């Protein structure tokens, strides 16, 4: 998409540029963990529709159920009630078309960078040669060229997380789910990764859901920001981000950026949390 065609969105973020179909539908979804010490209700009924190509950020207090929501979307755990549909099909197991970046990088210590990145290809029994070329390209883009044959313990935390992001993208999934992928990074690396993620989204038009503790990060990257309540989490509000694309870091000083960040922050003050 040419940059000149991008315009300021207003109202419904995704539909302002082009009407897109709903790709992910979260329908009356609840989750209660059953433990030996009793039930832990984690999600109250959640309804959410995410359009193809949309970038949605989710913010909320610690322990409100954000990771739970992402794991449900990834088909890693079953809902207690309600369902999630991707492309109209109920999610019952991890779908092929989804890439996930976990809250910590969870790389396999005995595998090199390239072999960690190739994991989803092996698991899905996809063509090795074409995907190996793709893996190398992703690794280069992530600034990890020359580190293909290193082990996770030979990498910095940021490099490990970038490896995990390459792994989530290697099979070219339509949907990418990210759980605080930049939480452990220093502020400058984090900003670089934000720009990189924006570039990936812009070039590939993937549908991305990002969980973050950073309100500025959510506003900077997303088309819409979902604000969750305390546990059991439900949706307190959904905000369209009224900023054009591509976005530069300077836009964080834009009055619209500051106003929306403040509005989101007020939810946490209201709940007694400084997130």
Ligand X SMILES: Nc1ncnc2c1ncn2[C@@H]1O[C@H](COP(=O)(O)OP(=O)(O)OP(=O)(O)O)[C@@H](O)[C@H]1O
67 part of the interface to Mg ion, by CB under 5 A? yes
**Which option in ligand X, Mg ion, none does residue 90 bind, with CB closer than 5 to 8 A by kind?**
none
| Lookup result for tokens 């070219």 | 172
Using CB under 5 A, which of the segments 32-40, 53-61, 65-73, 228-236 binds Mg ion?
A: 65-73
Distance CA 127, CA 136 (A): 15
Measured from the CB atom, the residue of 67 and 104 that comes closer to Mg ion is: 67
> Which residues of this protein are in contact with ligand X, per CB under 6 A?
33, 35, 40, 42, 60, 62-68, 103, 231
- The dihedral built from the CA positions of residue 211, 217, 221 and 222, taken in this order, carries a sign that is positive
Distance of CA 109 to the CA centre of its chain: 24
**Which option in Mg ion, ligand X, none does residue 40 bind, with CB closer than 5 to 8 A by kind?**
ligand X
Residue closest to Mg ion, measured at CB: 67
Using CB under 5 A, which of the segments 47-55, 63-71, 169-177, 267-275 binds Mg ion?
A: 63-71
Measured from the CB atom, the residue of 58 and 222 that comes closer to ligand X is: 58
Token digits for 186? 């220093």
| Lookup result for tokens 């038009």 | 205
Closest approach of ligand X to the CB of residue 204, in Å: 26
Phi, psi angles (nearest 5°) of residue 34: -95, 115
- Restricted to residues 108-167, the positions that interact with Mg ion (CB under 5 A) are none
Measured from the CB atom, the residue of 70 and 138 that comes closer to ligand X is: 70
Annotate 77-112 with DSSP letters as a single string: S--SEEEEEETTEEP-S--TTEEEE-SS----TTS-
Closest approach of ligand X to the CB of residue 171, in Å: 25
Distance CA 86, CA 97 (A): 9
Enumerate binding residues for Mg ion (CB under 5 A).
67
């Amino acid at each position: 998409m040419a940059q000149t065609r991008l315009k300021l969105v207003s109202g419904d973020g995704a539909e302002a540029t082009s009407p897109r179909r709903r790709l992910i539908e979260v329908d009356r979804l609840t989750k209660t963990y059953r433990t030996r010490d009793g039930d832990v209700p984690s999600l109250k009924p959640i309804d959410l529709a995410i359009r193809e190509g949309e970038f949605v950020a989710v913010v909320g207090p610690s322990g409100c159920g954000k990771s739970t929501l992402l794991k449900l979307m990834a088909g890693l755990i079953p809902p207690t009630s309600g369902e999630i549909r991707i492309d109209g099909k109920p999610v019952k197991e991890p779908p092929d078309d989804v890439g996930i970046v976990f809250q910590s990088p969870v790389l396999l210590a005995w595998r090199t960078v390239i072999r960690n990145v190739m994991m989803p290809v092996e698991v899905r029994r996809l063509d090795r040669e074409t995907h190996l070329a793709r893996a190398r390209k992703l690794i280069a883009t992530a600034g990890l060229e020359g580190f293909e044959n290193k082990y996770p313990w030979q990498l910095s935390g940021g490099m490990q997380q970038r490896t995990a992001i390459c792994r989530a993208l290697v099979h070219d999934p339509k949907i990418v789910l990210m759980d605080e992928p930049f939480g452990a990074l220093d502020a400058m690396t984090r900003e670089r990764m934000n720009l990189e993620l924006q570039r990936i989204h812009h070039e590939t038009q993937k549908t991305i859901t990002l969980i973050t503790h950073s309100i500025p990060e959510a506003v900077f990257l997303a088309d819409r920001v979902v604000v969750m309540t305390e546990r059991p989490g439900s949706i307190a509000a959904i905000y369209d981000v009224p900023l054009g694309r591509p976005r530069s870091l300077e836009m964080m000083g834009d009055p619209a950026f500051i106003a929306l960040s403040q509005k989101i922050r007020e939810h946490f003050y209201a709940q007694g949390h400084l997130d």
